[in-house]
Amino acid sequence: MHLLEKLEAMNRVQTGEDLHRFAARLYPICRSITGEGIRKTLGMIQEQIPLQLVEVASGTPVFDWVVPKEWNIRDAYIKVPGGDRVVDFQRSNLHVLNYSSPIRATMPLSALRPHLFSLPEKPEWIPYRTSYYKENWGFCLSHNQMQALEDREYEVCIDSSLEEGHLTYGECILPGRSAEEVLISCHACHPSLANDNLSGLAVATFLARLLSGDDLQYTYRFLFIPGTIGAIAWLARNQETADAIRHGLVLTCLGDPGGFHYKKSRRGDAEIDRAAAHVLAHHAEAAEILDFSPYGYDERQYCSPGFNLPVGCLMRSVWGTFPEYHTSADNLEFIRPAALAESLRICTAILDVLETNQTYRSLNPYCEPQLGKRNLYPAGGGEAIQREISARLWVMNLCDGEHSLLDIAQRSGLPFSMIRDAAELLHASGLLEAVPGPRGGESDHHEEFREDVHPGR
Amino acid sequence: MHLLEKLEAMNRVQTGEDLHRFAARLYPICRSITGEGIRKTLGMIQEQIPLQLVEVASGTPVFDWVVPKEWNIRDAYIKVPGGDRVVDFQRSNLHVLNYSSPIRATMPLSALRPHLFSLPEKPEWIPYRTSYYKENWGFCLSHNQMQALEDREYEVCIDSSLEEGHLTYGECILPGRSAEEVLISCHACHPSLANDNLSGLAVATFLARLLSGDDLQYTYRFLFIPGTIGAIAWLARNQETADAIRHGLVLTCLGDPGGFHYKKSRRGDAEIDRAAAHVLAHHAEAAEILDFSPYGYDERQYCSPGFNLPVGCLMRSVWGTFPEYHTSADNLEFIRPAALAESLRICTAILDVLETNQTYRSLNPYCEPQLGKRNLYPAGGGEAIQREISARLWVMNLCDGEHSLLDIAQRSGLPFSMIRDAAELLHASGLLEAVPGPRGGESDHHEEFREDVHPGR
Amino acid sequence: MHLLEKLEAMNRVQTGEDLHRFAARLYPICRSITGEGIRKTLGMIQEQIPLQLVEVASGTPVFDWVVPKEWNIRDAYIKVPGGDRVVDFQRSNLHVLNYSSPIRATMPLSALRPHLFSLPEKPEWIPYRTSYYKENWGFCLSHNQMQALEDREYEVCIDSSLEEGHLTYGECILPGRSAEEVLISCHACHPSLANDNLSGLAVATFLARLLSGDDLQYTYRFLFIPGTIGAIAWLARNQETADAIRHGLVLTCLGDPGGFHYKKSRRGDAEIDRAAAHVLAHHAEAAEILDFSPYGYDERQYCSPGFNLPVGCLMRSVWGTFPEYHTSADNLEFIRPAALAESLRICTAILDVLETNQTYRSLNPYCEPQLGKRNLYPAGGGEAIQREISARLWVMNLCDGEHSLLDIAQRSGLPFSMIRDAAELLHASGLLEAVPGPRGGESDHHEEFREDVHPGR
C-alpha cells in the first residue's frame, strides 16, 4: 500500500485531534536552543517514535559558530516589593527574554525600562524575544501591562542559569532499501508558540510514525533541532553523511488556517521542488510556490553554498506575514486540528511521490501496444475511465528511459498517483521495465552528485 | 515559382468547389479498416494522383497487433416481419455497427436492444460506432427511431462477411532532389463522415496533385490508410524507411468552419512544429497550437517512443469537441468549400516553408553591405518597401551560418516568404552563400538523426 | 568613490543646465558626415575632454563602402530674381538637402519642384533630408512656405562643394587597469537637430569628463563619429582593436521628456544588456527593454555578424516614434536640462555596474557565517537595515565563484549597489575572496572571446 493510501485509510478527524493534542502537551514547556525544555520535548517525541538524543558540549566549534552555554530557567517575575507579581513567568514563559542571564535586584522603573519589550500595535499580546549570543536579561509583556506599570521601585527576579552544558537534538532514522536519504527537519527551540514550532514538531512526529515499519525506498532522517545553531551543529558533525541526502523538507507553521506555501531549494529545480509543486497543484486548494531566499528557517543552512542540498520548506502561512507570529497569540487556538491533518496529508503525498517516482522504459516502443487484448482499454466508461486510459497512453508514450513518472505527470497534467498506478499496471503486464540508476529522470542535473552514493548499492 | 504562389494563381472559389465535389463523390461509400469500401475509395484517389495500393494479408503480425480479417457488407436492416424496414443500411451506412459480424434472425425487441446504439442528447442523429477487435453485431439509429420501436418481434439482417483477406492502403511518392522525406498521412477508414475523414482525404489528394511535377526539394510520401492499424502496418513494413522522414503532417477535420488547430509532434520543437506555428500565426485568422498528447489520430503511432518522428497534426475543429463528431451530422453540409480551400492553402504554405527553408552565410559579415549601390535600398517608398528593406537587413544580420530562414522569420516577426524572398535576392546579388548540410538551422537538435540520410547526397 | 556617488555629489540642476548649454553651443553648426561642420563640432568637444581627431581620406575603401567626397557649404537660397530670399540657409541649415551638390541657376517653379521637400502633415516644420551617396541637390522647407510659392521663375543657389577631402571622427580613450574596453559611441553628423544628435554628444562628453582621472577598471573608448559610414570606417581601421570591446553603448535621443528605452545587443544576454535592464528597473520611472533589430543607429555595424559585439543602444524616445524626429521641431526647446541630467545619471549607473561587477567566492561556504559576532547583523533596526542584512545573506549564499554580483542582484531583486556594498563589506571582513578571470560570472557565454585579451594581464 502506498503511503498516501495508508494515511487516507485512517480517520482524518481523529488524526487532526491527535496532532492537536500532541501539540497541546508540548505547549507549556519553556524551550530554548539548549537546556531541559528541549530535552523534555524530545523525550515526549521519543514516546512516539524511535528517537536518538545527541548532546553537543558547550564550547564546541561548529563551522563559524560555537555551541553556547546551556540555559535553564526555573522562575522569573517583576513584583511590587512585598506585593503581587505584575509580570510572572509562571503564567507565560514568553514573559522572559529567552536566554536571559540571571538577575535578582530591586530597581526603579526607569532602570527596568530598557529591559522591557512590548508590542504597542497589539496591546494584549506578549512578544517573543531572544538574546542567545549577547548576554542580556529582560522581560516581554503586553503593552497594557507595560502601561499599567507605575513609576516606582520593582523587585526583579530571573532565576536562570547559563553554564557549561550541552546543546541537545533528536534524530530518528528509518532505514530504507537505499542508503540515499530523505531529510525532514524541524526546529524545537521555541517556547509556548504553537504554529511556529509545535505544528512542525507534531506533523513530523506523526509522519515518522506513519513511515515506521513500512518497506521504504529511501532512508529517512528526521531531525528535531534547535533552529540555526542546531542545524549548523548537525551539519558540522555530519558533513559526509549530508552527501547522502537526495531530498529534504523543513517543516514549520503547518497548523494555521492559511493556504500552503512551498519555498524552493536553492537549486530551484530539484526533484523535491517539482514533487512539492506537483502535489500542491493537485492536492491543495490554494498554494503558492516561493523562490529560494537565504532567510527563513534551517533551509538557510542546508542550502548554504558549500552544501547546496535539495531541501525546501513547507509552510502554511509564511513566518512574519501573520500578525500572531512570535507573539503569545500564536497559541493552541491559532492552530486547528483540520489544518494539521491536512498538512500531514500534503507531506505524505510529497513523500509518496519521492518514494514511487521511477523511470521506466517501454518494452513495446514501436507504435502503441494493443491495450484492448490485455483488457487495459475498457470500452465505454465515463470520464474516470477515460482518464485512466489517458494515463496508460501517456506512460507508454513517454516511458523511453528518459522521463520519470513525475516528468510524465507534469507533462500530461494528470496527478502523479494516476500516472504511477498506470505504470505499475503496465509494468505488471510486461509492457515496461524499470530503469536502474538515478530515479529522478530527465530533469535531474546533479548526476555527478548522485554517483557518490551509488557504489555501495 | 514557389508552391504557395502556384496555388494562389489558381481560382480559389473553384478549388473549394472541386475539393467539396471530390469529398461528395467519396461520401456514399461504406468504408472500414479493410474491405471493398476503402479499396474503392483509394481507386477514386488513384484517378487524381499516382497511387500505389498495398495489400497486407489478414493475420500478418504488425508489432503488437495482427491484421484482422477483411470485412465486407452488402446489406443490413431491421424490419417488421413481412413489413417495412425500420432501420435500413441502404439509407445510411452508419446504421450498421462497423465491422458487424453477419446475422440473420428474428428476435424480440428485448433481445435486440443490447445491439442498438443511439444518442439520446441528439435524437435525430445516428451515431457512428465500431467493433473491430471484438466480434459483435449491432445497429446505430437515431434516438427518435429507437423510441419508435415497439415491443415486438423484429427480423434482423446483417449481410456482411468477416473472412481472411487483406488490409489495403494507398501510397503516393513524389520524388524530390533529396532522399529526405515529408510524410502526409490521413485515415481513409470512416464511412459516410465528411469532416472526420473525407476533408483530409480531399485536401491531401489535391496537395499531392499540386506538388506533382514540381522540382521538389524533399521526397513526399502521401499515405491514405486505415486509422491506427494502417499506420501500424505501414510502420511495421517500413521501419527503415521511416528514418528518412524529416517532417510530417497528419491531416484531418479540415472542412468545418472552425479555426485551425495544430498539434505539435512529441518532440515539440521540430521544424514542422515551428513551420506550422509560423504559418498559422501569419496566414490564419485564429489558430491554436496544441501540445502533443498520445491520443488523437495516427500521430500517436508516428510519435511512439521507438519512432519519435517529427509528425504533427493539422485540424480545424478538434475531434471530439464539435457535436457533429462521429455522427450522421458530420455530413456534406458540415464541410464548406471555402474552408477546404483555405485548409489546402495553409498546408501549402507550411510545405512552402519546409521546401525553401535554408541556412545561408553572409559573404559580407563585417558591417552592413551598401545595399544602395546594388539598388537594393529603394529611397522613399511606403511601408511595404520599408518592410522589404527590413527583411534584407535582418537576413544580412542573421545569416551567419547558424540561423535558418525560419529562425530569422521568427526573430524578426516578418513572414517567412518575405525573409526567403529577401535571401534569394541577396543570394543572387552575391551577398550570401548557402550552407550545405541540415537545412533546419540552429533550432534543430536532431543532427545525428539527419546524418543517416546524407551519405547518399 | 563609485562613479554614481561621484555624480550624485554634483548639483543636478546645474549639471542639466550645463548639458543643455553645451548642446545649445553646438546647435547652429551645419554638420554632415564630412566637412568643416563636424570638424568644428569635434573641436568644441575637444575643449571638454582629451579627443583625438582622425581624418580618413575620400576614396578609402572601408569594407563594402568607400569614404565619400568631402562636403562643405557656405550659403544656399531660393529667391525671386531681384527680390528677397524665400528660402534661406542662413535662417536654418535644414533648408538645404544635406550633401547637395552646388547649383546656381534660374528656373521656373515646375523645374524646381522635384527638388523641394516638405511635410504636409506638419505644415510649419522643415524636414531634414540627405542624399549622401547619390548626387542630387534640393531644398527642404515648411509646407506653408511650399504653398506660398508662386508659379514663376526663381533664382536658385547652393554654394556648396563636393571634393576630395576627408571624413573626420573623434576618439577619446581613458585608460583603465584592464585592456578590456567599454565603447561609448554617438553620431555627430546631424545639423541643427537637438535630440537626435546633440543630446547624445552632450551626455557622452560629460560622461567622459566624469570618468576622466578616475581609477577605472576598464579602458573607455568614446567615439564621436558620422553615422553609418563613420562606424564602418572606424571598424575597418580597428578590426583587431574591436576584439577588446567587452561592453558598449550607443547614445542618442537622450534629451526629450519621454521614458527610457534600451535596445539590446544582437547577443541579447550580454552583460551590458543585463546591466542596462537592471539599472533601468531600479533607477528609472518607466523604461522599456527592446529586442535587437538590424535598423537604428550604429549598433547595426557593431552588431553585424562578423563583429557581433556586445553593444546596445540607450535612448529616451525611440527615433521615428516622436513627431519631431528629423524635423526642425527637434530643437533646443524639445530637449530639457532635467532629462539630459537624468540620462547622464542612468549612463553613469550602468557604467557603475560594469566597473564594479565581480565574482566572489565565499571563504565560509558551510552554513551561514555568524554575522553577529562581526557586528554585521545589527539587532532591531527598520526596513533599511533589514534590506542590508538581506543583501549580506544573499551575497554569502550565492558567492560560490559562479554568480557575479549582477547575477545576485537580479536573483535577489535588490539593487546592484546594495549587493555590491554588501560584498565589499564582507570582502573586507575576510568572508569573501575575489575570483580572478572574466568578471561577468555565470551568464557569460563568450569566454573564448574574452580569453583573447587576458594574456597581457
Classify residue B139 by burial, with Cβ atoms within 10 Å: 0-12, 13-18, 19+.
buried
At B89, list the grid cell. 443500411
Task: Calculate ∠ Cα B325-B327-B329, nearest 5°.
Answer: 90
Contact check, Cβ <8 Å, B397/C305:
yes
Q: What is the per-residue pLDDT across A14-33, written as a single tens digit (0 to 9) for each? A: 999 999 999 999 999 999 99
At B50, list the grid cell. 499516382
pLDDT at C285 over 90: no
From residue C30, alpha-carbon distances to C24, C39, C48, C97 in Å are: 13, 11, 20, 11
> What subunits touch chain C, counting only 3 or more CB pairs under 8 A?
A, B
Contact check, Cβ <8 Å, B366/C300:
no
Task: Give the pLDDT of residue B455.
Answer: 28
From residue B75, alpha-carbon distances to B91, B366, C147, C454 in Å are: 10, 76, 87, 87
pLDDT at B443 over 50: no
What is the DSSP pairing of strand B116-117 with strand B139-140? parallel
At A361, list the grid cell. 522504459
Task: Give the pLDDT of residue A454.
Answer: 28
Q: State whether ipTM is beyond 0.85.
A: yes
From CA A23, how far away is CA C149, in angstroms rounded?
Answer: 95
pLDDT at A246 over 50: yes
At C118, list the grid cell. 516638405
Q: What SS3 class is residue A195?
A: helix
Task: Give the pLDDT of residue A385.
Answer: 86
What mean pLDDT is predicted for residues B103-113?
Answer: 97
Q: What is the mean pLDDT of chain C?
A: 94
What mean pLDDT is predicted for residues A347-369?
Answer: 97
User: Minimal Cα–Cα distance from A366 to chain C, Å?
Assistant: 39
Contact check, Cβ <8 Å, B368/C235:
no
Task: Give the pLDDT of residue C450.
Answer: 28
Chain B residues whose CB is inside 8 A of the A388 CB are: none
Q: Which C residues in the span 290-349 are in contact with A, Cβ-Cβ below 8 Å?
A: none
Contact check, Cβ <8 Å, B305/A399:
yes
Interface contacts (B, C; CB < 8 Å): 63
Report the first-to-last Cα separation within chain C, whole angstroms: 24
pLDDT at B454 over 50: no
From CA A222, how far away is CA A171, in angstroms rounded?
Answer: 6
Are C198 and C23 within 8 A, CB to CB?
Answer: yes
User: Minimal Cα–Cα distance from A134 to chain C, Å?
Assistant: 9
From CA B133, how far away is CA A202, in angstroms rounded?
Answer: 56
Helix boundaries (H) for A9-62: 12-26, 36-46
**For chain A, what percent of residues have pLDDT higher than 90?**
90
Q: What is the mean pLDDT of chain B?
A: 94
At A387, list the grid cell. 482518464
From CA A209, how far away is CA B217, in angstroms rounded?
Answer: 67
Task: Calculate ∠ Cα A444-A449-A451, nearest 5°.
Answer: 100
User: Minimal Cα–Cα distance from B234 to chain C, Å?
Assistant: 45
From CA A312, how far away is CA A136, in angstroms rounded?
Answer: 34
Look at the alpha carbons of B246, B251, B254, B258 in this order and tell me if their dihedral is positive or negative. Answer: negative
The confidence band for C197, taking pLDDT boundaries of 50, 70 and 90, is confident
What mean pLDDT is predicted for residues A295-321?
Answer: 97
User: Minimal Cα–Cα distance from C370 to chain A, Å?
Assistant: 6
From CA C331, how far away is CA B444, in angstroms rounded?
Answer: 50
> What is the distance of C-alpha A117 from the center of its chain?
29
From CA B55, how far away is CA B34, in angstroms rounded?
Answer: 10
Cα-based torsion angle of the residue sequence B93, B99, B102, B103 in order, rounded to the nearest 10 degrees? -70
Host H or E run for residue B171: strand B166-174
Nearest residue on chain B to A364, alpha-carbon basis: B64
Task: Give the pLDDT of residue C74.
Answer: 97
Helix boundaries (H) for B399-444: 405-412, 416-428
DSSP designation for A58: T
Phi, psi of B192 (to 5 degrees): -75, 70
Q: Is A187 on the interface with C (CB under 8 A)?
A: no
Contact check, Cβ <8 Å, C394/A303:
no
pTM for the structure as a whole: 0.92
Beta bridge partners of C359: C404
Nearest residue on chain A to B304, alpha-carbon basis: A367
B206's CB contacts (< 8 A; 6+ apart) are B15, B18, B19, B22, B48, B344
Count how many residues are written for chain A. 457
pLDDT at A67 over 80: yes
- Higher pLDDT pick, B151 / A284: B151
Task: Give the pLDDT of residue B407.
Answer: 97
From CA A212, how far away is CA A395, in angstroms rounded?
Answer: 31
Q: Report which of B196, B170, B206 is spatially closest to residue B185, judged by C-alpha positions.
A: B170
Q: Which A residues in the span 394-433 are in contact with B, Cβ-Cβ below 8 Å?
A: 394, 396-400, 411-412
Q: Is A235 on the interface with C (CB under 8 A)?
A: yes
Mutation to test the C interface, candidates B361, B367, B399, most C Cβ within 10 Å: B367
The confidence band for C438, taking pLDDT boundaries of 50, 70 and 90, is low
Are B72 and B161 within 8 A, CB to CB?
Answer: yes
At C159, list the grid cell. 554654394
Chain C residues whose CB is inside 8 A of the A266 CB are: 397
Q: What is the per-residue pLDDT across A412-426, written as a single tens digit (0 to 9) for each? A: 999 999 999 999 999
From CA B88, how far away is CA B100, in angstroms rounded?
Answer: 15
**For chain B, what percent of residues have pLDDT higher than 70?**
95
Beta bridge partners of A172: A222
> What is the distance of C-alpha C52 from the center of its chain?
18
